[in-house]
């Protein structure tokens, strides 16, 4: 999709929800993005570009609805916001490749497997249990860089 603006937010869906866009990496490592709808959740937690999203409630993955509200995430990370949508708007989340977060990890060191389970709003925590859904790895925890491996 030439000319795609991954930092755009849309009030009306411009793409089918769940569409995955692959940047083949001509200007760096390969990255993939997923088109979702944003919901601020029960706590009205705003989206922030560079923060982590999780899937909203039990049907979030199937319905392609993401949130920043950790209390409404069911343990599955959705991706890293490329923009700051408001509730009901549509946006792109980075789901694979290297990313720099805006908010520091809740905990962790370089190389740690990361999850939204136990994390605060908009960030990641170290995966403590084999049942935690790993969605990224800390590349340089102090610099807030990760390697994304969110579900496609």
List, in sequence order, every residue forming a beta bridge with 137; answer none if it has no partner.
113, 147
The domain limits of the chain are 20-149
d(CA 66, CA 144): 21
Contact at 8 Å (CB) between 136 and 114? yes
d(CA 46, CA 39): 9
pTM: 0.94
Q: What is the pLDDT of residues 1-60, one digit of tens each?
A: 556 899 999 999 999 999 999 886 667 788 999 999 999 999 999 999 999 999 999 899
Q: What is the pLDDT of residues 124-140, one digit of tens each?
A: 999 999 999 999 999 99
């Amino acid at each position: 999709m030439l000319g795609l603006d991954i930092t755009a937010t849309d009030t009306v869906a411009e793409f089918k929800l769940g569409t995955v866009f692959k940047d083949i990496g001509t200007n760096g490592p390969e990255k993939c993005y997923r088109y979702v709808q944003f919901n601020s959740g029960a706590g009205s937690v705003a989206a922030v570009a560079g923060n982590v999203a999780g899937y909203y409630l039990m049907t979030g993955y199937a319905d392609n609805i993401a949130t920043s509200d950790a209390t409404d995430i069911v343990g599955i990370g959705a991706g890293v916001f490329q923009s700051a949508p408001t509730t009901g708007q549509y946006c792109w989340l980075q789901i694979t490749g290297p990313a720099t977060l805006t908010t520091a990890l809740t905990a962790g060191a370089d190389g740690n497997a990361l999850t939204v389970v136990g994390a605060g709003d908009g960030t990641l925590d170290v995966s403590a249990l084999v049942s935690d859904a790993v969605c990224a790895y800390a590349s340089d925890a102090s610099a807030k860089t990760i390697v994304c491996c969110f579900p496609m």
